Amino acid sequence: MHFTRNRYFLLGVLLILLGIQFRMVESFVLNEPTTRTLAKVSQKTAAQPDYNMQSFFMQVHPKPTKRVELPRWLGMAMITVGAVVSLHAIAMPRDGS
């Protein structure tokens, strides 16, 4: 697949938007099948409750879930890379037009 100016710009904009989304979200919780698959792949035990309220809910409705916390730098890195890729797309010469 040949990357043109438009595709570079689209990739940059998508990275910027995804980076903004990652900056707005502190953490997310995986559903039960994903948690079980992740436990099988990583050869670890099932997810354990992180805090008291979750352990209370686990007794009532025991579905193993895993909470994933994103690093703070991930969103800013994606925004930065997306901005560089978008600016690179703007600086590229047009193809044949």
* pLDDT interval class at 78 (50, 70, 90): very high
Distance between CA atoms of residues 61 and 68, nearest Å: 20
Residue 30: HSE in the Cβ half-sphere, 13 Å Cα cutoff: 18
Task: Dump pLDDT digits (tens) for 1-56.
Answer: 777 889 999 999 999 999 999 999 999 898 888 888 888 888 755 555 555 665 55
What pTM does this model have?
0.66
Q: Where are the alpha helices (DSSP H) in 1-97?
A: 5-24, 32-42, 52-60, 72-91
Pick from 86, 67, 60, 57: which is nearest to 29 by CA?
Answer: 67
Annotated domain spans of the chain: 1-26+70-92, 27-69
